[in-house]
Structure 1
Amino acid sequence: MEGKGKGLAMQFEIALFTTTSSSKDGIQAEWHTIKVPDPECPPPSSSPNVVTTIQKPLRPFNEVKVAWPYREHAVIGSRLYSLGGMNPDSEPHVADVCNPEFARFLKVRSFDFSTPDDGWKPVSTMTFPKRFEPACLVFDDKLYVFAGFTSDAYSTELEAKGHGWMEVYDPDLNTWEPLPNPPPEFGFPLCFPIPIYYAALDSKKQILVALNEGARVKATFYVYHVIDRYWTILEPRGRELRPHYPDPVFGKRSIVIDNTIYWGFVLEGYVYVQSFNIDTDLYFHGSLDTQQFLRDSEFEYPCCPMLPLLHLADQTFCLFLFTMVDKMEYDGMVYLNCIVLDISLNPFKDEDEGKQQSKVEFHECDKFCFMGNSSKQLNISLVSVQSYPLRDIFCLYDALLLNQNLQQRT
């Protein structure tokens, strides 16, 4: 069960948003936290690179009834933010529900870890609140929300005013401010284009939004300049988009490190990771066989969460996987596995001249090799796996890294 990755020098804390059941009163939602590495689960040997099982089951730190399993959340300082996710033009998800959560699609709420007994509190209402599962990200301790409009009527209003497709929330002032709309090339009505990937480029003070360009295998990247508040288009347009790659995390927020975007997930017995360098317009791929860490008679559970990679530090990432152990002594126990990975770039090298291959040669190699042996393209090594037994199966909708000052929270 040993991997080749490096152990973690720091401890991180991750918040998990889950749902367990639904009734006429709404959907039961829970928030859990886990620590990586988990102090309650010391490695069974001197090496940290092993699969370890936590015997203590996960217990929620907050439980709430919701009308829809919201998928967009953010962390700023000691506060966790949840964006409403119901379609304002549709009927309630659960029939006969009279719970006030049904008005939540108009609201953003926050949970302060410094005062957990206060529960979730609404913040001020967005300038354009009628959004369905809008995208969101944090930049310079402010919350940016965009897209999610479901009606041409909203789009017409946005286009006429020239702002509002994106807006920003200042937690210090508890105020929202609409921002300039993307350029006309973005496409109208604005309720139609759905970002396929989005990320914060911290080093450049920019927000990156990718949209399909005609065919699904092409995309154009739009850049919002946070300081000067204007949009540009990243040339060249119509870039290849994750060629020859399965895409179950379509439309989710992405990770950017040194102008390289990372995506990853578990699918049919393999951890797949792809990265895209924005500056060089090159892709890198890698995979890891889950048999490296699955126990005897353990297999991928059918309802696995399709969440994007979570970045811990440097080149260390994690993702989540449900598994089941089909052995009599485990009685079909289901586990939530937190898989920690070390991921590094390994550009192709010409064996004779030691030069990096050209872009055309790279994509030809990608075409034939990625779904097979792609380990030479992107190095992926296993750091650790923390395995949590679940008494009750839940659906995992989101995972967020809590801020540095929360890592020592007890």
Structure 2
Amino acid sequence: MTSKKKNTKKNGKFQLENLLANDSENLLAEILQLGLQQLMELERDHHIGADPYERSDQRRTSRNGYKPRQLYTRVGTLHLRVPQTRDGEFYPSILERYQRSEKALVAALAEAYVQGVSTRKMAKVTERLLGKEFSASTISRFSAELDAELEAWRTRRLSGDYPYVKIDARYERCRRDGIVVDMAVLVAIGVSEDGHRHVLAVETGWGESETVWSEFIGGLKARGLQGVEMFTSDAHPGIRKALQAHFPGTPWQRCQYHFQRNTFDKAPKKRQDELHQALREIWRRGNSYRQAKARLGELIDRLEEPLPDVADWLSEQAEQTLTVFQVAPPTHRRRVRTTNAVERLHQELKRRSKPVRIFPNPQSCLRLFGAMLKEQHEDWITGRRYLKMKQLEEFKKKRKSSSVDPPKKIHQPAMAE
């Protein structure tokens, strides 16, 4: 028995010396292949309980030849001879570990597909790193499994109340009948009754028509969205009409950030800093609704002569930005007065979609963004609370018990002419 083990070791050593002497181009792969082959042989000996041709009371079974197997590794493809036994119960543990690695690789490829890496690029990367190219059909199979998971998440039932809901859209380039067009990606996030943020919906549409927004917002209602104290969005007419149709009577807050940009577009550049400071004073979270409205009135009066167009704009539109003072407590206002939280998601979507440049179809875009937003949703609901919702309940009770805001001295800096 000892002599046979020594012969096995000598054979392995002899083969290794030959590899080193031949200076092969794939030396690392061949050394790894030799080492794995030796390990599998030794493990089979241990499983059998005896060396080749050895008679032993410890023998449990006998050898039964080999099966060819290709193993894909970082140093290239290894061509192995997997030892077999007659009882059929032996399989090298080293290959089991590599099988798990291969599954992890396929999962990584699916993730790369989600992240917008093209099949062609993935093929090059995997061929270089692992000596194996995964076909488009393989990736498509995994993407189909992913689509089923994402579809279940996107269409899930919304349970509980969502006092605050924010809605916004961004655009991606997508092929439609062979022509590259802009496609809208619609996103809604909400703050639940326990204070966590949730991604409520993500859909794609050809533009932001009233019909597109109505289907999106109507879909939220059909899935159970309820308990909304306030919607926040920009002033897109499609959103406004859809909200009026599906959630009539629910307060709407015009995004203060978008409104400020719209205001700057109507004012000379040299007056924009002054307008910025004036709007900040109006929107200061410690103000009551009446105080904010009074400051807005003072600003409009001061702009009548130097900037009449801006004064008219503020008179007609600015009160839409003050809803938050009536609905949310001061501690919540900074986080619910704009759609900035959705904008930050859009920036991440933009970064991740950059390698794609042009989506081949809406489904590929929805797959990418759905996977990203599902991950963000899971981080949010398992992380820290975004808002303390007890403060909202206290604010609502106080609002019911008193219809008059406490008096507060109003200070408004004069605008330079």
Which structure has the higher relative contact order (CA within 8 Å, separation 6+)?
A: 1
TM-score > 0.5 by shorter chain: no
Larger helix proportion, structure 1 or 2? 2
Give me the TM-score of the superposition, normalised by structure 1.
0.22
- Which has the larger Rg? 2
Larger strand proportion, structure 1 or 2? 1
Give me the TM-score of the superposition, normalised by structure 2.
0.22
